[in-house]
Amino acid sequence: MVAAAGVHRLKFWTVDPTVVVQRLLIDTGGLEPTYLGPGESRWVG
């Protein structure tokens, strides 16, 4: 849970070299429940 708006940092550490992160889902509110999760977003940086 995030207490306030602003810039936040998410860190990952490799504990096991055989583990792969396939999807990272961050719900910022308004996400409808589904078994498949939301569709892929088009983030333009």
Total-model pTM: 0.43
- Summarised one tens digit per residue, pLDDT across range 9-43 is 888 888 898 988 887 877 777 778 888 777 777 77
User: CB neighbours (10 Å) of residue 16?
Assistant: 5
Q: How confident is the model at residue 45 (pLDDT cuts 50, 70, 90)?
A: low
Torsion of CA 36, 12, 44, 41, to 10 degrees: 0
